[in-house]
């Protein structure tokens, strides 16, 4: 499942109360962070037992669900740091104001669907959204869940994540199977094959230069390496958009892609492991999905097993 995100500003007379709630959320996060930093286990139960009652004694006006959300975010931050193999010299400190809402902290306004009710320090209040044509269209077609509120330049914004599955699915008339690969970027069931030899050659050249600079290890080589990484990333992004446009240039209204989630984590032969890691599979799927949605088309994920026999 893919989501479409859209950010807009929250306005209302009680916006300062909402900002105070976000400050409380940061206070709980920074209170729990040193405790989790010394804790060996990533357990929400253990962290909750050490944080909840002490923080309630210090700040009795903080809503219980805000404490729980801060604990969850703190634990998630340490899990992400551990999975990315980052070394911490001290506890994580949260400075920016942001908070993920859940059903206990917000509710949809039944009388006005273009507004939202959020729990504040003075109870649950209704806030209006700065509406745009695209946002109004998303509200009319899709559903959203658990938005994120954050502060930017003194203003409070909200980020909605819409499920890209329409309320009423259109019946597919023509399905196009797409097989993603390494040397061949995509092979489609209508016989089209995308191979960009010039791009592949340029990519090999950049990878070679990066290896040479990494082995040098000087200050100037590190600066040059950063520029090459940005250049490679931009080229890959541009190539991904071009591939998506070629795939969508057909009369088919449904595109079947293999669900390759977790393929980079699996064990492969040595000569393929590095090549697979360089293919932006998820990014291509993401770009292809939202571009297809803009054209009224659908992208489906199918089991890779025997997919060539079905599509």
Look at strands 298-302 and 175-180 and give their pairing.
unpaired
- Residue 155: strand, helix, or coil: strand
- Residue with more model confidence, 93 or 122: 93
What integer pLDDT is reported at residue 267 of this predicted model?
A: 52
Q: What is the pLDDT of residues 64-76, one digit of tens each?
A: 999 999 999 999 9
Q: Is residue 104 part of a domain?
A: yes
User: Do 104 and 86 belong together in one domain?
Assistant: no
* Residue 92's pLDDT band (cuts 50, 70, 90): very high
Q: What is the pLDDT of residues 134-147, one digit of tens each?
A: 888 888 888 888 89
CA angle 270, 277, 80 (to 5 degrees): 120
User: Do 45 and 91 belong together in one domain?
Assistant: yes
Show which of 71, 97, 123 is a domain's final residue. 97
CA distance 55 to 59: 6
Q: What is the mean pLDDT of residues 16-30?
A: 93
CA distance 110 to 117: 10
DSSP result, 118-139: EEETTEEEEEEE---HHHHHHH
Show which of 97, 116, 133 is a domain's final residue. 97
Buried b or exposed e, range 200-235, using 16+ CB within 10 angstroms: eeebeebeeeeeebeeeeeeeeeebbeeeeeebeee
What integer pLDDT is reported at residue 72 of this predicted model?
A: 93
φ, ψ at 299 (rounded to 5°): -115, 125
User: Do 146 and 292 belong together in one domain?
Assistant: no
Look at strands 115-120 and 106-108 and give their pairing.
antiparallel
User: Do 7 and 110 belong together in one domain?
Assistant: yes
Q: How many domains does the chain have?
A: 3
- Residue 254: strand, helix, or coil: strand
Over 90: is that where the pLDDT of 26 sits? Answer: yes
CA distance 22 to 151: 9
- Give the single-character DSSP code of 81: H
Q: Is residue 169 part of a domain?
A: no
What integer pLDDT is reported at residue 24 of this predicted model?
A: 93
Show which of 81, 97, 113 is a domain's final residue. 97
Over 60: is that where the pLDDT of 165 sits? Answer: no
* Residue 168's pLDDT band (cuts 50, 70, 90): very low
* Residue 166's pLDDT band (cuts 50, 70, 90): very low
Q: Is residue 131 part of a domain?
A: yes
CA angle 20, 121, 144 (to 5 degrees): 85
Structure tokens at 37: 């930093």
User: Do 202 and 293 belong together in one domain?
Assistant: yes
Chain centroid to CA 297:
22
User: Do 231 and 278 belong together in one domain?
Assistant: yes
Q: What is the mean pLDDT of residues 107-115?
A: 84
User: Do 305 and 180 belong together in one domain?
Assistant: yes
User: Do 138 and 197 belong together in one domain?
Assistant: no
Structure tokens at 67: 């404490």
Q: Is residue 170 part of a domain?
A: no
What integer pLDDT is reported at residue 310 of this predicted model?
A: 52
Note the maximum CA span of the chain: 68
Q: What is the mean pLDDT of residues 272-299?
A: 77
Buried b or exposed e, range 250-260, using 16+ CB within 10 angstroms: eebbbbbbbeb
Q: Is residue 39 part of a domain?
A: yes
φ, ψ at 60 (rounded to 5°): -75, -15
Q: What is the mean pLDDT of residues 193-208?
A: 87
User: Do 254 and 109 belong together in one domain?
Assistant: no
User: Do 111 and 147 belong together in one domain?
Assistant: yes
Q: Is residue 237 part of a domain?
A: yes
What integer pLDDT is reported at residue 275 of this predicted model?
A: 58
Q: Is residue 253 part of a domain?
A: yes
Q: Is residue 168 part of a domain?
A: no
Domain range for residue 200? 175-310
User: Do 9 and 141 belong together in one domain?
Assistant: yes
What integer pLDDT is reported at residue 42 of this predicted model?
A: 86
Average pLDDT, the chain: 84
User: Do 255 and 302 belong together in one domain?
Assistant: yes
Structure tokens at 283: 């990014």
Q: What is the mean pLDDT of residues 181-194?
A: 84
């Amino acid at each position: 499942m893919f989501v479409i995100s859209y950010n807009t500003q929250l306005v209302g007379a009680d916006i300062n109360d909402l900002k105070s709630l976000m400050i409380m959320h940061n206070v709980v996060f920074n209170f729990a962070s040193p405790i989790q930093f010394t804790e060996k286990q990533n357990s929400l139960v253990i962290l909750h037992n050490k944080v909840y009652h002490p923080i309630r004694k210090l700040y009795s006006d903080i809503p219980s669900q805000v404490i729980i959300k801060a604990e969850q975010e703190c634990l998630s931050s340490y899990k992400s740091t551990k999975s990315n193999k980052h070394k911490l010299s001290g506890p994580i400190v949260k400075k920016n104001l942001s908070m993920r809402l859940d059903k206990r902290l917000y509710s949809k306004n039944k009388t006005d669907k273009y507004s939202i009710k959020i729990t504040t320090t003075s109870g649950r209040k209704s806030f209006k959204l700065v509406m745009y044509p695209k946002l109004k269209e998303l509200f009319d077609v899709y559903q959203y869940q658990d938005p994120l509120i954050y502060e930017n330049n003194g203003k409070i914004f909200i980020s909605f994540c819409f499920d890209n599955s329409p309320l009423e699915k259109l019946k597919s008339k023509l399905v196009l199977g797409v097989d993603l690969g390494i040397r061949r970027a995509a092979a489609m069931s209508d016989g089209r094959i995308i191979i960009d030899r010039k791009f592949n050659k340029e990519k090999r050249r950049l990878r070679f230069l990066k290896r040479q600079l990494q082995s040098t290890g000087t200050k100037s080589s590190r600066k040059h390496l950063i520029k090459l990484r940005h250049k490679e990333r931009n080229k890959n992004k541009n190539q991904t958009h071009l591939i998506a446009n070629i795939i969508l240039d057909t009369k088919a209204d449904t595109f079947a892609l293999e669900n390759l989630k977790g393929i980079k984590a699996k064990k492969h032969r040595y000569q393929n492991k590095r090549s697979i890691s360089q293919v932006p599979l998820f990014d291509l799927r993401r770009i292809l999905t939202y571009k297809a949605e803009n054209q009224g088309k659908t992208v489906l994920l199918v089991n890779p097993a025997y997919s060539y026999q079905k599509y």
